[in-house]
Structure 1
Amino acid sequence: MQTSPVLPRQAASPTPAAVDHPGPEQAEKHKGGRFGLPTATALVMGNIIGGGIFMLPAAVAPYGTVSLLAFAVLTVGAIALALVFGKLARRNPRTGGPYVYAREAFGDFAGFLSAWSYWITTWVSNAALAVAAVGYLDVLLPIQHSKLLTIGAALLLQWLPALANLAGTRYVGAVQIVSTVLKFIPLALVAVGGLFFFNPAKMGPFDASGSGWVGGMTAAAAILLFSYLGVESAAMSAGQVRDPERNVGRASVLGTTGAALVYLLGTLAVFGTVAHSRLLHSSAPFSDAVNVMFGGSWGGSVIAVAALVSMTGALNGWTLLAAQAPYAAARDGLFPAVFAVEKRGVPVYGVLISVGLASLLTVLNFASGAQSAFEILVLVTSFTATVPYLLSTAAQLYWLVRGEQGKVAPGRLLRDAALGLGAFAFSIWLLAGAGYAAVYQGVLFLFAGILVYVWMAGRRDQRGTERAV
């Protein structure tokens, strides 16, 4: 960043159909978006409460109850991120979220890295959700004895939400609201009811990994980040939200806060009802918790159904985000133009390409016989999600340093600066906790995109040169 960050964006003037500051007609289009505050909040909460809450108690059990402390710290950081996204969306309410903010502040390359990294996060998350969903489907229909049936079920769980997305954004919103309500009720029941069956002796040691409470909390937080992916959902879909300048921030905070309450109580209930030794090897921890609470297997089956509904809803929302992540970049000429093709308000090829890549990753993980496919995929997304988070919080700090001091009262400036610095430090902490293996794989995914940027930037500049001649 030795040169002015605004110059790269200005140099890209030949790009079609994209402006960084919407004019009156575009602003009016935003006002008439398809999603109101309830649907936008449901989108945030539905994407946050996906497969994570149903799998993560077992995933963090090896670290002990220090992971509950990590959950609390993570919640504070997630709400800080939600507030930052709300402020950035008020400044620029375009579909694309982190990509839009990074590009406006730092130029095309930073915007591309944000969009590319977030796009990877979306379809890798879908693969992880499918892996988690199969574990709960096995509670109802024993299929994990057959690798072919397991792969087929995981693919079906990914393609059904994709078909709902291809039907149009109206159906996406309807599915999101219904699935959020259906999954919130049983989750709240377990979170509250589990406290009546709580047994502290089952919680296991505080530092089960033996790496110290700071190391254990950081490592647990890297896995737990997956459960908070989606805090930016309303910002990503700002172009589809009515009155995004107000509703994006509200939906982000409301959805994140509601999800956090369910998460903290639910994880605590599972830790206190399922013995730690059993939880370490559980593939359906919430079902195990309900079976302990009420006896028999009927309760676990009910929770398994709720988990599948929840994960299907999350896959529905994440499939939408997977299509929208490259959409804005494609309209600006930084992604292949095919990602900007819309039908019924949905980037149709973005849906198809993203679900295709997620399906391929799912097949490869199951076919390779990986015993911890969910944890591996989760840690990769912990890295790739952190990149756009860091760039977005850096963009917020950039605008504050550049000149916001003259536009806001000193008290508000200090509050916004503290919020931005806290969200930035939080993102750095998550990056550190992801671990070397996740960072290594994530960097490979991220740097592979540089070839795409080189190709697109070269073609765009060539067209600009030809027009000038």
Structure 2
Amino acid sequence: MARKMSVMQLTMLTAVNMLGSGIVMLPTKLAEVGGISILSWLITATGSLALAYAFARCGMLSRKAGGMGGYAEYTFGKGGNYLTNYTYGLSLLIANVAIAITAVGYLQVLLGLTLSALQITLLTIALLWLTTVANFGGAHITGRIGAVTVWGVIAPVLVMCTLGWFWFQPALYAAGWNPHALPWYDAAGASVSITLWAFLGLESACANTDAVENPERNVPIAVLGGTLGAAVIYIVSTNVIAGIVSNPELVASTAPFGLAFAKMFNPLVGNAVMAAMVLACIGSLLGWQFTIAQVFKSSADTGYFLPMFAKVNRAGTPIVGMLVLLALQTVMALLTISPDLSKQFDVLVNLAVVTNLVPYILSMAALATLQQVSNVPPRQALVSNAVAWLAAAYSYLALYSSGEQALMMGGLATIFGYSLFGTVNIRLMRLEAQGVLRVPVQTTSARHGTPVTQEP
């Protein structure tokens, strides 16, 4: 038997999976609220820990393939499984456009460019096309590239958490604490959506159940420990920057980490950090463009998505599906065009969060059924169900904080999924009549870590 991971190894893997390109623009977005946005971090950390624990319980009890889709099926049937796959795939699609926007933001500062809204959008689209076409030969190389380039984000963030304190100025931090004089309850809710963006993907760590020793005990510990570790790094790094760079400068920056390192050391170091983060975003985008196509392919194999997403070439690449998804991403980039790159990023992130929260909420609602069919003792089930309700309450708060536009667009996209299911269900019935078995569905994070497959 292959040697399995220890609880410490899985905890580290979980933390690294979440520490990706999601943090790159966070200091700028949080500066719009001020240092008081730490209240949002505390809320999101609590909610994320509740989500992580509930997902760990779902992963331990579920006997269905498909990750969150499999969890949802216990309570909502195949319609719930479909809607979970549909909204999760849509979230990944949107999130990758946000990653491309992030790379463009750092790139224009690195090269000293002043780009118009149209130029930013065209460069974003070009980056999406480049990273998609580069995957046509297969993902074995791009996966390795992503595993290396992600440290272009992680290394600077860890340096900021440790060495950044030597440049931290309490007076500068205090000046940017609450620049808009918001009441504490408004400030606490203002950044919940953007802070959750950094934690999206925490559910993917639960798919490593079979790879760890004593999973009943170690998976919940690793998921909670990894999520807590990521939370500490996020909170510390973004707040240290707020004491190194003034609030107005942070709000105006599209490359906040590069700006902070330039102030800490010199512009050359700042440029090196920006270059590393651009490479990290491109490496992440390279891998996730292929991964999204694989997610859609896996769902097409089960009958949930259109058959065209299941077609592959000799290298096993679903080129047709990749091109369809690329066309959708191109439309998204054009529809969200804005004179302010930060605003365009904001629109995409909020929409990605809204669509990603639908499978989260369905999974939390399914935990009670999962525990019932698994004969979990009532007292133990009560605790897990209470945590799931806390996680669901946080998810609704995150939905509310995403704003009216994101809620409207995300709601329309979700409801449209029900219309699509009317057609999809016919194909599912045909496949079931033919005795076609489901295959495992790949579950992934939009911006963090490596793709994983959860077996039935």
TM-score by length of 2: 0.81
CA distance in 1, matches of 2:214, 2:321: 26
1:400-432 Cα shifts (integer Å, max 9, x gaps): 3x355x43483x334323322221222122112
- Cα RMSD of the aligned pairs, angstroms, is 3.6
Aligned residue in 2 for 1:424: 392
- Partner amino acid, structure 2, of 1:415: V
CA distance in 2, matches of 1:453, 1:255: 36
Alignment of 1:157 with 2:157, yes or no, is: no
After TM superposition, give the deviation of residue 73 of structure 1 in Å: 2.4
1:430-460 Cα shifts (integer Å, max 9, x gaps): 1122122210111122222223211212344
- After TM superposition, the structure 1 = structure 2 runs for residues 282-301 of structure 1, keeping only pairs within 5 Å, are 282-294=253-265, 296-301=266-271
Aligned residue in 2 for 1:452: 420
Aligned pair partner of 1:215 in 161, 180, 186: 186
Unaligned runs of 5+ in 2: 436-456
Aligned residue in 2 for 1:225: 196
8 Å CA contact 2:69, 2:359 repeated in 1: yes
After TM superposition, give the deviation of residue 345 of structure 1 in Å: 6.2
CA distance in 1, matches of 2:430, 2:132: 36
- After TM superposition, the structure 1 = structure 2 runs for residues 362-377 of structure 1, keeping only pairs within 5 Å, are 362-366=333-337, 369=339, 372-377=343-348
Aligned residue in 1 for 2:406: 438
After TM superposition, give the deviation of residue 324 of structure 1 in Å: 4.4
8 Å CA contact 2:364, 2:391 repeated in 1: yes
CA distance in 2, matches of 1:341, 1:258: 40
After TM superposition, give the deviation of residue 166 of structure 1 in Å: 4.7
Aligned pair partner of 1:134 in 68, 86, 104: 104
After TM superposition, give the deviation of residue 350 of structure 1 in Å: 4.2
Alignment of 1:337 with 2:307, yes or no, is: yes
Distance 1:177 1:397, change over 3 A: same
CA distance in 1, matches of 2:279, 2:48: 24
- After TM superposition, the structure 1 = structure 2 runs for residues 24-43 of structure 1, keeping only pairs within 5 Å, are none
After TM superposition, give the deviation of residue 245 of structure 1 in Å: 9.5
% identical aligned pairs: 29
Aligned residue in 1 for 2:57: 87
Structure 2 residue matching 1:450: 3-state secondary structure: helix
After TM superposition, give the deviation of residue 238 of structure 1 in Å: 6.4
CA distance in 2, matches of 1:138, 1:317: 23
Unaligned runs of 5+ in 1: 1-30
After TM superposition, give the deviation of residue 117 of structure 1 in Å: 1.2
Distance 1:282 1:360, change over 3 A: same
Distance 1:244 1:335, change over 3 A: farther
Distance 1:167 1:254, change over 3 A: farther
* Alignment coverage as a number of residue pairs: 430
1:148-207 Cα shifts (integer Å, max 9, x gaps): 653453234334543565544543542332123343222211222211111122223544
Distance 1:286 1:464, change over 3 A: closer
CA distance in 2, matches of 1:409, 1:104: 18
Distance 1:244 1:369, change over 3 A: farther
Distance 1:82 1:339, change over 3 A: farther
Aligned residue in 2 for 1:7: none
CA distance in 1, matches of 2:7, 2:332: 34
Alignment of 1:103 with 2:73, yes or no, is: yes
- Partner amino acid, structure 1, of 2:351: V
8 Å CA contact 1:66, 1:216 repeated in 2: yes
More displaced 10-residue stretch of structure 1: 174-183 or 57-66: 174-183
- Partner amino acid, structure 1, of 2:39: L
Distance 1:393 1:328, change over 3 A: farther
CA distance in 1, matches of 2:178, 2:258: 25
CA distance in 2, matches of 1:41, 1:387: 26
- Partner amino acid, structure 2, of 1:376: V
CA distance in 1, matches of 2:291, 2:8: 18
Structure 2 residue matching 1:142: 3-state secondary structure: coil
CA distance in 1, matches of 2:177, 2:354: 26
Structure 2 residue matching 1:232: 3-state secondary structure: helix
CA distance in 1, matches of 2:115, 2:185: 39
Aligned residue in 2 for 1:413: 381
Structure with more relative contact order (C-alpha pairs < 8 Å, separation 6 or more): 2
CA distance in 1, matches of 2:21, 2:403: 22
After TM superposition, give the deviation of residue 36 of structure 1 in Å: 11
- Partner amino acid, structure 2, of 1:298: L
- Partner amino acid, structure 1, of 2:99: L
8 Å CA contact 2:36, 2:177 repeated in 1: yes
1:338-368 Cα shifts (integer Å, max 9, x gaps): 33345656655444433332233224433x5
8 Å CA contact 2:52, 2:227 repeated in 1: yes
- Partner amino acid, structure 1, of 2:127: L
Alignment of 1:187 with 2:157, yes or no, is: yes
CA distance in 1, matches of 2:301, 2:113: 43
8 Å CA contact 2:21, 2:153 repeated in 1: no
- Partner amino acid, structure 2, of 1:261: V
Distance 1:245 1:312, change over 3 A: farther
Distance 1:463 1:191, change over 3 A: closer
Aligned residue in 2 for 1:50: 20
More displaced 10-residue stretch of structure 1: 35-44 or 218-227: 35-44
CA distance in 2, matches of 1:196, 1:433: 34
Distance 1:64 1:155, change over 3 A: same
Aligned residue in 2 for 1:307: 277
Aligned residue in 2 for 1:18: none
Aligned pair partner of 2:83 in 89, 97, 113: 113
Aligned residue in 1 for 2:443: none
- Partner amino acid, structure 2, of 1:449: G
After TM superposition, give the deviation of residue 55 of structure 1 in Å: 0.8
Alignment of 1:387 with 2:348, yes or no, is: no
- Partner amino acid, structure 2, of 1:128: A
Distance 1:191 1:415, change over 3 A: same
CA distance in 2, matches of 1:93, 1:251: 21
